[in-house]
A and B are shown apart, each in its own frame.
Chain A
């Protein structure tokens, strides 16, 4: 069953006529995702790759194709508006890849989305993949295998590392969700682990986090009280100097808060197996599973 996306998902790509948007729309299509539409204002009427209709607006794309997910490749300056356009059109899953959206814009998006049935994943995220069924994002499809491990992560390439380790050991993934590296985003670790907990296809989870904020601690507290499935985690940034933004807008230790050590402590207190190094992520989960 997996979570959020599967072979029935109908994908729209906002920004499909751009270089990155087009490249990744094609890549998702090649993976087997059901790409049904693209949107770029003023380019309506064109066809992408000879088969996918391009519309001027999301509401038209929704009306004409019934798309129920969107992948947003719109520049940072305009991306918040694109998210709200998708929300307005009722698109159920909104995956925003764009990095660099101002924090205050995202604050308004969150406030504006309150009560909406749409789910936003990201921004500044690699996307989401249910292996074998649907890829919405920039991840390399070939490293993934269908299976039973749910993966949730703030990172892109560090997630691929974990997935590669799992696949190499014969353990596939139910769904991999990249929630992105921004301090204010649409979906948290906690949101995703709740879904994994409910999903009959997910039997174990890997949570990948990094310095900054308290998302991992919140997820750990909930998992301790509510989840019987085995969970492993890795926190990046133990060696990052305080007060510096480490690439991701959200990866910053501020006023002593959001340290890797603090997160690791909270995770271990919740009975979660924490990988000592990024090479150890899949093995950490296998150790936890072996403990029973």
Chain B
């Protein structure tokens, strides 16, 4: 789950992680008010979208750039007016861009040094790890490629958490002067606390800045949250912005389906994430383009299967559907009944290839045959892929 920059700021503020003063605005008037309240003539106005590359992006109304420096509250208001309600296109939004509904007005700071500081889960050692570097403000992957020696990796023992001596060691490794250490250590400790208490999977502060005035603060923070833990974080779930998500995925999540939208025209309905990925792979191998990843899971109900089918059918890009089910927990008769119900509820507009195997397969196949649905039966996974790819070729 992604969150907006202004929400990230809220989280940082909540945990006492020093960042730049600022406030969010939904109208130009609010933007002016926030700017005035900051009491500075060093302002930056930033469009709030779940995508990077805002600075170099362009609005469809012609306004250039999703990040603007300015000097007065009036200027902030005028910039906000050019952004709010308009569509920003960046190299990460796709050509259709995103509508900007909020802007963040912040105090811009005089940067002395830019550092990089991130906390992630290292799967190989089953522990959190701090990844930090004196090379901030740039893409960390290029630092890793060019100068790996400039990257510090410090594992944290999950039983003790980040110990104070570790924060001091990090401060030194990042070139902090003795006088800067206290502020840096406090930031590291509080960020770690945020990471653990919010069940994050990643926190990335890039850049972490030391200002000319000697402050240490997080200029930008990106968060990823453990989806498995959201049930115990209603405060994080509340940050969800449905407008920023693929509408097909929003619909799927209402039925608790695991769905990811892609760009192709062959829809898939599969049980099991590994098999679903492999189904996408084999469709591609045979020259087709998958339209989605969809795992109906082991415990899916007939209702969920019907809903899944409806979502696939409602995607206008879809020119054929492949159902690939190997029943373990998932029973083939449940799938078959779900397909029958879905097709009855919504007229089937495209070719349907069905491959069933596993628990209750004979019952499932009997149900499908008896339904007189216009479907193509496939024997194994290669046969299924070939048939569905053939179904989208022009006649």
Contacts and interface: CB of A to CB of B under 8 A. Distances in A.
B363 interface: no
Contacts of B232: 77, 102
B272 to A, nearest CB: 3
B22 interface: no
B290 to A, nearest CB: 7
B226 interface: yes
A20 B226 contact: no
Nearest to B121: A103
A104 interface: yes
Contact of B199 (A102, A139, A184, A240): A102
A157 B199 contact: no
A213 B122 CA distance: 9
A102 B228 contact: yes
B381 A161 contact: yes
B275 A213 contact: no
A236 B274 contact: yes
Contacts of A211: 277
Contact of A278 (B196, B258, B282, B358): B282
B201 A103 contact: yes
Contacts of B275: 155-158, 161, 236, 278
Given A108-B158, A208-B274, A240-B277, A246 B228 contact: no
A226 B358 CA distance: 36
Given A139-B328, A239-B284, A244-B260, A279 B126 contact: no
Interface stretch (B29-37, B70-78, B293-301, B339-347): B293-301
A181 interface: yes
Interface in B259-289: 260, 262, 270-282, 284-285
- Most chain A Cβ neighbours within 10 Å, of B258, B275, B280, B380: B275
A41 interface: no
Nearest to B386: A279
Given A104-B199, A107-B121, A140-B327, A237 B226 contact: no
Interface in B226-248: 226-229, 231-232
A279 B326 CA distance: 13
A64 interface: no
Contacts, number: 174
Contact of B276 (A102, A164, A246): A246
B274 A155 contact: yes
A276 B381 CA distance: 13
B127 interface: yes
A236 B141 contact: no
Given A157-B326, A239-B290, A278-B282, A246 B357 contact: no
> Which of B127, B231, B329 has the most A CB atoms < 10 Å from its CB?
B329
B274 A210 contact: yes
B271 A157 contact: yes
B382 interface: yes
Contacts of A234: 278
Nearest to B273: A247
A101 B226 CA distance: 10
A211 B293 CA distance: 14
Given A111-B159, A241-B260, A256-B141, A251 B277 contact: yes
Nearest to B271: A157
Contacts of A212: 123
Interface majority SS on B: helix, strand, loop or mixed? Answer: mixed
Given A140-B358, A184-B121, A155 B380 contact: no
Interface residues of A, number: 62
Interface string B196-238: 1001011000000000000000000000001111011000000
A153 B328 contact: no
Contacts of B279: 278
A292 interface: no
B359 interface: yes
Given A77-B231, A255-B141, A278 B272 contact: no
A266 interface: no
Nearest to B286: A277
Contacts of B121: 103, 107, 183-184
A47 interface: no
B124 interface: yes
Interface in B305-340: 326-330
Nearest to B298: A138
Contacts of B127: 107, 111
Given A126-B328, A240-B277, A279-B380, A184 B159 contact: no
Interface in A201-220: 208, 210-215, 218
A160 B298 CA distance: 13
A278 B281 contact: yes
A38 B260 CA distance: 38
A28 interface: no
A244 B245 CA distance: 13
Contact of A248 (B270, B273, B282, B298): B273
Interface string A59-91: 000000000000000001100000000000000
Interface in B115-129: 120-121, 123-124, 126-128
- Which 10 residue pairs across A and B have the least CB separation, nearest first? A155-B274, A247-B273, A157-B272, A279-B382, A158-B274, A102-B229, A278-B278, A157-B275, A236-B277, A247-B295
14 contacts: A77-B232, A126-B328, A138-B328, A154-B274, A160-B358, A164-B357, A181-B274, A213-B124, A234-B278, A236-B277, A247-B277, A250-B123, A277-B278, A277-B381
Interface of A: 20, 24, 76-77, 100-104, 106-108, 110-111, 126, 138-140, 143, 153-161, 164, 181, 183-184, 208, 210-215, 218, 234, 236-241, 244-251, 254-256, 276-279
Given A247-B276, A277-B285, 20 more contacts: A102-B228, A103-B121, A107-B128, A138-B298, A140-B327, A140-B359, A143-B358, A156-B275, A156-B328, A161-B381, A210-B273, A210-B277, A212-B123, A236-B274, A240-B293, A241-B262, A246-B260, A247-B295, A249-B226, A279-B282
